[in-house]
Amino acid sequence: MPFSDPLADGPAIQQASQQAIGRGVTLGTVFRLAETLRRRSLRPLLLMGYVNPLLRYGFERFARMAADAGVDGTIIPDCPLEEAGEWRRVSQQHGLANVFLMAPTTPAVRLKRIDRASTAFSYCVSVTGVTGARRGLPTSTFEFLTRVRTVARKPFVVGFGISGPDHIRALREYADGFVVGSALVPMLNGGKSRSIARNVGRYIQKLTDAAR
């Protein structure tokens, strides 16, 4: 979901958000896209974005429209667990899952709370900082995921900087899934739709093969 101040995102997604807003993309646009995707696929569909648009819409209205569009849940990076009480209540009433974030700086006690509060899985931020493709992963990422594994009872995925098959092969024993965003965004710019879809599909296939 594009937002004017995507504070957790790096240049690729910042630029994509600005372009989307400049071309008139709204939450209504996102819901219509979700409806189209839901008619074509039964795969889980999550919306990721920031809390301010939800507040402007109103939690009740947003949750109802998301559920009606076939959305399964949300990832809201700037809505921490401690401030998410009302959103958790409303989203649960509409059958929407919540995915909360864990960071390398998160203490064990809070990791446990996030694990319990996340509906099906949690999202581990691989490094402190913003999103963006990176060449390598620091040793601290592996240490962090090992620490999460000792306390988490639900599955967890890892994102921020995951950009290629090598990253996934290195981390597949440490996490249950992967989030790849910034590496894909530049592939969506320019060219014909079918060519873009084909290139993105090939890239995702490489990532999927690496995860096996």
pLDDT, tens only, 89-112: 999 999 999 999 999 999 999 999
Domain boundaries, the chain: 1-99, 100-212
Q: In degrees, to the nearest 5, what angle opens at C-alpha 109 toward C-alphas 107 and 112?
A: 110
**What is the predicted pLDDT for the residue at 132?**
47
Mean local confidence (pLDDT), 46-61: 95
Q: Over 70: is that where the pLDDT of 161 sits? A: yes
What are the residues whose beta carbons fall under 8 Å from the beta carbon of 124, sequence distance 6 or more? 101, 102, 103, 144, 145, 148, 156, 157, 158, 159, 175
1-99: CATH topology: TIM Barrel (3.20.20)
**What is the predicted pLDDT for the residue at 187?**
85
H/E segment holding residue 29: helix 27-40
CATH of 100-212, one of 3.40.50.1370, 1.10.150.530, 1.10.1740.110, 3.20.20.70: 3.20.20.70
Q: Over 70: is that where the pLDDT of 136 sits? A: no
Q: Over 80: is that where the pLDDT of 204 sits? A: yes
Q: Quick one: CA torsion of 79, 208, 185, 29, rounded to 10 degrees? A: -60
The whole-angstrom separation of Cα 11 and Cα 18 is: 10
The whole-angstrom separation of Cα 189 and Cα 113 is: 39
Q: Over 80: is that where the pLDDT of 133 sits? A: no
The token pair that represents 197 in the structure block:
């879809």
The reply to whether domains 1-99 and 100-212 share a CATH topology is yes
Which one-letter amino acid corresponds to residue 63?
A
